[in-house]
Amino acid sequence: MKDLNLKTLKFDRHLDSHLDSFFIEKNGLLEFNPNFITPEFLTTWTFETHLYGEQVAIDHFVITFPSRSELENYAASFRPFGAKIVEGPDLFPINFCAANINVPSDLWLHLMTLLMPAGGLVVLDAPHAVGDQKNRFQQERGLTAVHHVALRVENVQNAGKIWQDKNFKPLSERPLNYGSLTQWFVQNPAGQIIELIERHPGNNATFDCKNIAGLRLSEGRMKKEKTSKI
Ligand SMILES: [Fe+2]
What tens digit of pLDDT does each residue of 77-87 get? 999 998 999 88
Q: Predicted confidence band at 12 (pLDDT cuts at 50, 70, 90)? A: low
Q: Predicted confidence band at 224 (pLDDT cuts at 50, 70, 90)? A: very low
Whole-number Å distance, alpha carbon 1 to ligand 1 midpoint, is 14
Whole-number Å distance, alpha carbon 221 to ligand 1 midpoint, is 18
The whole-number average pLDDT for the span 164-180 is 90
So what's the pLDDT on residue 121?
92
Burial-class residue 222 by CB neighbours within 10 Å (0-12, 13-18, 19+). middle
Q: Which residues surround ligand 1, an ion (CB under 5 A)?
A: 150, 195
Whole-number Å distance, alpha carbon 218 to ligand 1 midpoint, is 13
CB contact at 8 A, 206 and 86: yes
Q: Predicted confidence band at 227 (pLDDT cuts at 50, 70, 90)? A: very low
pTM: 0.81
CB contact at 8 A, 107 and 139: no
Measured between its terminal Cα atoms, the distance across the chain in Å is 40
CB contact at 8 A, 87 and 2: yes
Whole-number Å distance, alpha carbon 201 to ligand 1 midpoint, is 19
The whole-number average pLDDT for the span 154-168 is 96
Whole-number Å distance, alpha carbon 77 to ligand 1 midpoint, is 22
Whole-number Å distance, alpha carbon 123 to ligand 1 midpoint, is 8
Rounded Cα gap, residues 110 and 65, in angstroms: 9
So what's the pLDDT on residue 217?
56
Q: What percent of the chain has pLDDT above 90?
A: 62
